[in-house]
Amino acid sequence: MPESLKKLSLKQQNYLETIHDLCRHHGHTHVKSIADRLQISMPSVTEAVKGLAAKGLIKHDIRKNITLSQKGKNLASTLARRQLILADFYSKILGCPRAKADEIACRVEHVVDDSFCSRLAGFAEYLRKQAEQGDDIIANFKKHYENGT
């Protein structure tokens, strides 16, 4: 896990991810949009935004747009990549419904490091290659699990 990510609380990481997601659609976001997405008060968002700006993760002028700094983009991308790796594994390998896989991945991504995610992604790729070669371990597991044996 990058050292700068370790210094962020879980709440700060969630704000960073939310800002990242909202900025992907319009290039920027606003306190109200963040508050609406997270279903919290605008004053709470304002305080969080100040903290993220003080850490150099976002750029914000009061009553103006909020954007991610390059450092903020890098950290948010790291979190998004982890979540995708975990959610894909839970969904495509273990067979969990995608909504459930996304929900679990969103919680787990904050406690795993890059090394673990790389290993998990490598394992998933290995299983997919085995399936392409005729040894579909994934399908066999899903059948085994569904049969309760």
Model pLDDT for residues 38-64, shown as the tens digit of each residue: 999 999 999 999 999 999 999 998 778
pLDDT surpassing 90 at residue 69: yes
Most confident stretch, 5-9, 45-49, 112-116:
45-49
Percentage of residues in the chain having pLDDT higher than 70: 95
Model pLDDT, residue 19: 96
Model pLDDT, residue 84: 94
pTM of structure: 0.81
Model pLDDT, residue 3: 56
> Residue 92: CB partners within 8 Å, gap ≥ 6?
124, 138
E strand or H helix at 68, and its extent? strand 66-68
pLDDT surpassing 90 at residue 146: no
pLDDT of 77-107, one tens digit each? 999 999 999 999 999 999 999 999 999 999 9
The answer to whether 35 touches 45, Cβ cutoff 8 Å, is: yes
For 18, 22, 33, the CA distances from 40, given in Å and listed in that order, are 13, 16, 10
Type of residue found at 114: D
